[in-house]
Chain A
Amino acid sequence: MSDLNRRDPRLAWILRNRLHPRHGELSGQPTRGPTGLLRKNPRPQWQYGPSGVRRLDRLQRGAAAGVSRLSVNKRHEQPALPVHRVGEPQAYIAVWLQTSGGRLTPHCKDVLGQAQQLAVAREEPTAVLGVLCGELKDPVDGAGIDRLLQVNGEAYDGYQPEAWTTLCTQVDAALQPLCWLLPDSGTSAELGRRLGVNLGERPATGVWKIDADTVLARNGAGNLDISRPRSRVMLLLEECALPCGEFRYEVRPMTLTLTAPTGTRLEDLGPVAVDPAEIPLAEAEFILAAGNGVRDWPQFHRAASVLGASEGASRVAVDDGFMPRNRQVGATGTWVSARVYIAVGISGAVQHLQGISKCEQVIAINRDADCDMVKRANLTAIGDSGDILAALLQLVATRATREVSDAA
C-alpha cells in the first residue's frame, strides 16, 4: 500500500450528505443510540501524518477533506546507511568469522564491532579482514567486514581445526595482520589457541575490554580480571563491544594463493546421534513444542521422534498432564535457545514468548491466524495441527525412502 494519504471520494460524499445513515458516525458528531440517547464516540480519532507520525486531528480537517484513514499505514522504510570504504589498506585486522547454520553468530558480530573500533582508531587505512570457511546465507554488509577471504574446499569441510590453523597461518604470513581477533567460544576458541601456539604468540583469552595498550581479560574460573598488554592473537568474550550499525561495509572478496593443508591427524567421523529426549531443553537445538491445540498426542510424540526434535510444551499442556513439567517452555519453565522452534497449537502468551525470545526460526502451526505466535513466527501454517503433522510425517517418510532408493 502506498504511504500517501489519499482522498476517499466516497467518504467525502458521506460527510457532505447529512441524510446518509453513516454521516453522524463518520463525521465524529454525537449520534442517537437505539434508546434515543445521544452517544459520542469517546475514542480519539487518529490521523497519520505524512512522515508516519500519529497525530490527533482536533479540527477534523482530515475528516472534512474525506481523507481515508484506512490507506495510511506506518512507514517502515530504512534510510540507506552510508558506505564505509577502505581504499588501499596499509594494514589488516583479521577476524575469524564464526557461523552457525550459515549465519554470523551474535558473538562474532560483537568481535567484528571491536575490530572496526580498532581499525578506525588507527591513522593509516586499516581494513577488517574476515576469514571464513564455508558458506554465508544472509548478506553481511552491515556486520563490519571490509575484506572477505572465503575459502571453500573439501579439506576445510566439517571439523578441521588443523586445516583451519594452517589456513590462518598462511593468511598471517601473506598479509601480516596487526592482530587476530576470534570469538572465545566453540571451535573458534580452539582455533585461536591453536593459531597462537602455531604463531608462537601467547594468546590473550577471555578478553572483554581492549584499551589503548592493555586489555582486560577474565580468567578461566571467571573470578579474576587480568590486565595485560595486547597480544597479536586475542580471544574475545561476548558483548566485548557493540556490533556495527552505522555503516554498510564493502565486503570486497579477496583471493590469496594458498597451499592445501596436508596430513591432518584428526579424523572427523561426524556427529553422533544423540537421543533428543536426553538433551537438556535449554540446550536443545531443535524443539517441537505442543500446546492446548494438540489433540492427538501419540501422533505428536511420533512426529518428534521422526523429526529428531526435543519435545517442549506450553504450560497448559503440562497442567493438563500431557507433558512432564521439565518440558515446559516459558517464563516459569525453561528459557530455550533452539535454532528452530516449532509451536504446535500454542497461542503465544507473553509468558511463553519470553521463553523463546532467543530462538532464531520459529514455525507456528495453529488454527487461528491472528494469535500472537503467528506474529512472532517466521513461517506459519494455518490449519488443524493433526492434519499438518500428518502431512509432515508422510512427507518425511516419502523423502527418506526416496533418498534411500537414490543412494542404492
Chain B
Amino acid sequence: MLPDALNIAVLVSQGRHPVSGRARRAHQDACALELALCLPQALATNVRAIHAGDPGQEALRDYLGMGIDGLTVLSQTAEDDALAVLHPYLAEQRPDVLLTGVRAECGEGSGLLPYLLADRLDWPLVTGIAAIERIENGAASLLQALPRGQRRRVRVSLPFVASVESAAAEPRQVAFARARRGRITGLTPATEIDQARTEWTLSAARPRPKRLKVTTARTAADRLRQATAKAQGSTGQIIRDDPQAAAKAIYELLVEEGVLRNTQGTGRV
C-alpha cells in the first residue's frame, strides 16, 4: 500500500427489496460502493466496506460480489445503536472519505447516521451526492443530486462524510463466485442499546388517508359552484398580434421565474 493512498470507507447495510421484501444489498449503499470503486486508478484508493450488525447476514455477501477484498462487520444485535460502535471504530481508522447511503432500507431509516457520524467526527458532511468529480490537494469536488435531475457542484476538504443518492451511477452486478469467496471479518466491539427505540412501537405501514378536496365555501351556492365549475384559473395576461411585445413579456416571465440559465435570474430555487 502506498503511504499516500486514499482510504475510503463505505458504510453498507442490509437492504430489502421494495416489492418482494427479500433481503438484498441496499441500493444506495451499493451506489456508494460503486462510486468508491470507480475512482480513478491514479488516486491509489483503498476501499473498505464496514457494516454494523449480524455478520451472518447473507445479503452482505452481495457487496463482496461487487469486487471488494473484504468486509468488516462490527457485531451487534438489531436493538443496538450503530453509532455507538461505528464512531469509535472510524475515529480509530480515520479514513479520508466516508461514504454512506442517504437512508437505510431496513429499520427506522431516518437517514441520521451520516449526520451523527459527521458531527461526532467533526467532519463536514455533503448530502445526496451523485458523483465524485475529482480529489486533489486534499480537497474534493462533488456533484450533488438535486430534484428535477439538476446537479450542484460542492467543494469540500478531506476528510469528509458524504451520503450517496440513488441518482448516482447504477451499481455493478454481483459476481456469484466472488460473493462466495469473499472474506467477512468480524469484530466484537462494546455495544450499546438504543434506548429511545425501546419506547417505539412498529407496525406495518397503514395506507395514509387520501386528502379530500377541500371546500371552503360558506353558502350553498358557493359549494355548488365549487363542485360544478371547472377550475376557472383566472385567465392571465393576453397579448395579441404583437410578436415583439409577446416575446418581451415571455422573456421577462422566464427571467423572473429564474429558469433561464445563461442569464441572471432573480428567482432562487
| Chain B positions within 8 Å of A399 at CB level | 251, 263
Please report the C-alpha to C-alpha distance between residue A197 and residue B108 in the assembled complex, in whole angstroms: 16
Complexed CA–CA distance, A382 and B261 (Å): 26
Also in contact, A226 and B236, with CB within 8 A (given A100-B269, A190-B127, A193-B115): no
For chain A residues 325-365, which have a beta carbon within 8 Å of chain B? 339-340, 342, 361, 363, 365
Q: Is the CB of B112 within 8 A of A382?
A: no
Q: Are B249 and A198 in contact (CB under 8 A)?
A: no
Q: Tell me, yes or no, whether A218 is within 8 Å of chain B by CB.
A: yes
Question: Given A194-B115, A219-B108, do A267 and B154 touch, yes or no (CB 8 Å)?
Answer: yes
Out of A221, A269, A363, A394, name the residue touching B155 (CB < 8 Å). Answer: A269
Chain A interface size range: 35 or more
A383 and B242 within 8 A (CB):
yes
**Cβ of A307 < 8 Å from any Cβ of B?**
yes
The answer to the question of B93 belonging to the interface, with a C-beta cut-off of 8 Å to chain A, is: no
Chain A residue nearest in CB terms to B194: A202
Chain A binder among B41-49, B59-67, B203-211: B203-211
The answer to whether B141 has its CB under 8 Å from any CB of chain A is: yes
Determine how close the nearest CB of chain A comes to the CB of B197; give it in whole angstroms. Answer: 8
Contact with A along B115-153 (1 / 0, CB 8 A): 110010000111110000000000001011011111111
Q: Are A220 and B202 closer than 8 Å at their CB atoms?
A: no
Cβ B148 vs Cβ A285 within 8 A: yes
Contact between A196 and B112 (Cβ–Cβ < 8 Å)? yes
How far apart sit A194 and B218, CA to CA, in the bound complex (Å)? 43
> Does B154 contact A266, Cβ atoms closer than 8 Å?
yes
Q: Which residue of B lies closest to A99 (CB)?
A: B268
Question: Known contacts A197-B112, A339-B257: does B154 contact A388 (CB below 8 Å)?
Answer: no
| Interface residues in A254-275 (C-beta closer than 8 Å to B) | 265-274
Partner of A225, one of B156, B199, B204, B258: B204
Which residues of A come within 8 Å of B, CB atoms?
A: 51-53, 74, 79, 99-102, 134-135, 157, 159, 161-162, 186, 190, 193-194, 196-198, 202-203, 205-206, 208, 218-229, 239, 242, 245-246, 265-274, 278-280, 283-286, 307-309, 339-340, 342, 361, 363, 365, 369, 374-384, 387-388, 390-392, 394-396, 399-400, 403
**Beyond A226-B201, A391-B247, 14 extra complex contacts between A and B, CB < 8 Å:** A193-B110, A198-B119, A205-B112, A221-B103, A222-B205, A269-B155, A270-B153, A272-B152, A286-B254, A363-B253, A365-B246, A378-B253, A379-B253, A403-B264
